[in-house]
Amino acid sequence: MVQLKTARELSLMRDACRISAMALRAAGEAVRPGVSTKEIDTIVRRFIEKQGATPSFLGYGGFPASACISVNSVVIHGIPNSSTVLREGDIVSVDVGAFYRGYHGDNAYTFPCGRISANAQSLLDATRESLYKGIEQAVAGNRIGDIGSAVQRYVESRGYSVVRNYVGHGVGANLHEDPSVPNYGTAGRGLRLLPGITIAIEPMVNEGTHYVRVKNDKWTVVTADGRLSAHFEHTIAITPDGPKIMTICD
């Protein structure tokens, strides 16, 4: 069931989203050659807890870390560890959530590690832009399919593919709520968007095929062909005045 947030609930969510956004920024500042994904995860956890919040992902479904950190061909749900040390040219997706005063914020960004290839930069640019194409359609009166269609059309026009197996979602008192928000679909189809709906739009875009597989750890999702993947995400509120990005730093 889709939960429509009151003005008070939206205010509380903004605080959680702001903490999530600042934690993501701190993670991005730590991305550089020689740093392990475990070190970045520790920075995220300490930052969130210093704000009096709790990392949304830590222990969620058994996930063992505070952030999902996914490098190169890892699409999502990469588990931070001491043996994964970043190298020049890597692309590093960091997905962070914070739980504060009863509500979650959720956001992700794919950072370049040092100088990256032109192909990698093109993938990052296209994925980030596809997120904003989707956000543009997150308007009261539109439908979920309008968001996914906008993302898919833009991504495919750039020669990339959108992941089908994993999608965006509602977010609020629970990290994952209704509705599901696919990054593909047909305009004019699906749930109608109403003021008070809060969703995480999160394109996951692959350089090659859209097919993915899950590694033996039951978490890490990688591209089936071993090519690069990028991931960007914002938590959005549907309002009478248009979409409002909540995961922004003050």
Q: Does residue 249 carry a pLDDT above 90? A: no
Three-class DSSP category at 56: coil
Structure tokens of 239? 């309002």
List the domains of the chain with CATH numbers: 7-245 (3.90.230.10)
- Per-residue pLDDT of 170-186, as tens digits, reads 999 999 999 999 999 99
Q: Which amino acid is at 160?
A: Y
Average pLDDT of the residues of the chain: 98
Cβ–Cβ under 8 Å, residues 70 and 77: yes
- Per-residue pLDDT of 221-239, as tens digits, reads 999 999 999 999 999 999 9
- CA 243 to each of CA 164, 173, 203, 204, 236: distance values in angstroms, whole numbers, following the listed order: 24, 20, 17, 20, 6
Q: Does residue 136 carry a pLDDT above 90? A: yes
Q: Could you give the percent of the chain with pLDDT greater than 70?
A: 100
Q: Does residue 17 carry a pLDDT above 90? A: yes
Q: Among candidates 37, 165, 167, 26, which has minimal Cα distance to 98?
A: 26
List the strands of the sheet with 212-214, edge to edge: 74-76, 221-223, 212-214
Q: Among candidates 60, 30, 62, which has minimal Cα distance to 44?
A: 30
pLDDT for 108 equals 98
Calculate mean pLDDT across residues 6-21. Answer: 97
Strand partners, 170: 177, 199
Calculate mean pLDDT across residues 97-113. Answer: 98
Q: Among candidates 34, 59, 33, which has minimal Cα distance to 45?
A: 59
Q: Does residue 11 carry a pLDDT above 90? A: yes
Q: Which amino acid is at 137?
A: Q
Q: Which amino acid is at 32?
A: R
Q: Does residue 214 carry a pLDDT above 90? A: yes
pLDDT for 43 equals 98
Structure tokens of 232? 């960007």
